Amino acid sequence: MRVLLVEDSVALADSLCAVLKEAGYAVDWRADGRDALVLGEQEPYDLCVLDLGLPGLDGLEVLRRWRAGGLALPVLVLTARSNWAERVEGLRAGADDYLTKPFHPEELVLRLQGLSRRSHGHEPGKPLEARGLTLDETRQRVAAATGGASPVVLSATEFKLLRYFMLHPDQVLSKTRLAEHLYEYDSERDSNVIEVQVNHLRGKLGRGVIVTRRGQGYIFVGHGS
Ligand code: CA
């Protein structure tokens, strides 16, 4: 999952980048509202954390323009403490959730997990379940939804990949699309890495969990029927 983080406080952005990467998100950080506006329209982000007081272009204006242009990207707005008017304005402009500063980074991670589950039609307060598997996003491990066998521990890359698959079950996902959602803006996107990681997941979860469509990509079918 790729996150666009828009925050002009360098210290806060630094700490949030670290926490979000630790939680398995590929993070692109921008401090200026104009840069964020363009990047949000260009790149296929899964989530956005948007501060409102920004240089260049106000966060509310960035959000309004995205929504006016039909961009459905789930956006969590960061607002100043006790500024209820800002929260209301944010929601009115099309924010999906908000968090009041100061907050604990852990809370942001939990809110984003909930927001991404909700935006894919899952219950936000429950672990991500898809096709017979349950993903523990905090511990980065996966188990059969029916219980039974002990949870399987995943590497950081396996976790990112499986989460994306589980949010998009039964869809053909090309290597290019997977790479776009797992790697940051300026990273080398080597689609061979995807192939290797898919094979790791098959080794841990069973060969049939991810089906190859030759020349097209992969389909996550999970353990369910
Ligand atoms: Ca600010």
Handedness of CA 160, 163, 168, 172 (dihedral sign): positive
The pLDDT, as a whole number, for residue 224 is: 62
Say what the pLDDT of residue 225 is.
47
Distance 2 CA to ligand 1 centre (A): 21
Per-residue pLDDT tens over the stretch 3-34:
999 999 999 999 999 999 999 999 999 999 99
* Amino acid at position 188, single letter: E
36, two tokens: 């964020």
Rounded average pLDDT over 78-100: 89
DSSP letter string over 114-131? HHHHHHTTS-TTS-EEET
Q: How far is the CA of 61 from the centre of ligand 1 (A)?
A: 14
- Rounded to two decimals, the pTM is 0.94
The CA 60 to ligand 1 mean position distance, Å, reads 12
On whether the CB atoms of residues 134 and 181 are closer than 8 A, the answer is no
Q: What is the pLDDT of residues 52-81, one digit of tens each?
A: 999 999 999 999 999 999 999 999 999 887
Report residue 192's pLDDT band, with 50, 70 and 90 as the boundaries.
confident
Q: Residue 174 above 70 pLDDT?
A: yes
For ligand 1, the distance from its centroid to the CA atom of residue 83, given in whole angstroms, is 14
Q: Ligand 1 centroid to 15 CA: how many Å? A: 15
Distance 9 CA to ligand 1 centre (A): 6
What is the DSSP code string of 59-114?
A: HHHHHHHHHHTT----EEEEE-TT-HHHHHHHHHTT-SEEEESS--HHHHHHHHHH
Average pLDDT (177-196) is: 87
How many A from CA of 194 to the centre of ligand 1?
36
In this predicted model, what pLDDT tens digit does every residue of 115-153 receive, in sequence order?
A: 999 999 999 889 999 999 999 999 999 998 777 778 999
The alpha carbon of 53 and the centre of ligand 1 are apart by a number of angstroms equal to 4
Residue 173 Cα to ligand 1 midpoint, Å, equals 36
Ion ligand 1 nearby residues (CB, 5 A): 8, 51, 53
For 130-133, the CB contacts below 8 A with 24+ separation are: 130/165, 130/166, 130/167, 130/169, 130/220, 130/222, 130/224, 131/166, 131/169, 131/170, 131/220, 131/221, 131/222, 131/223, 131/224, 132/222, 132/223, 132/224, 133/166, 133/205, 133/209, 133/222, 133/223, 133/224
For 195-213, write each residue's pLDDT tens digit: 999 999 999 999 999 999 9
Cα–Cα distance, 156 to 113 (Å, whole number): 16
Find the 13 Cα to ligand 1 centroid distance in Å: 10
Distance 46 CA to ligand 1 centre (A): 22
Q: How far away, in angstroms, is 25 Cα from ligand 1 center?
A: 22
Instruction: Show the domains of the chain with their CATH numbers.
Output: 2-119 (3.40.50.2300), 128-220 (1.10.10.10)
Nearest to 38 by CA among 4, 2, 79: 4
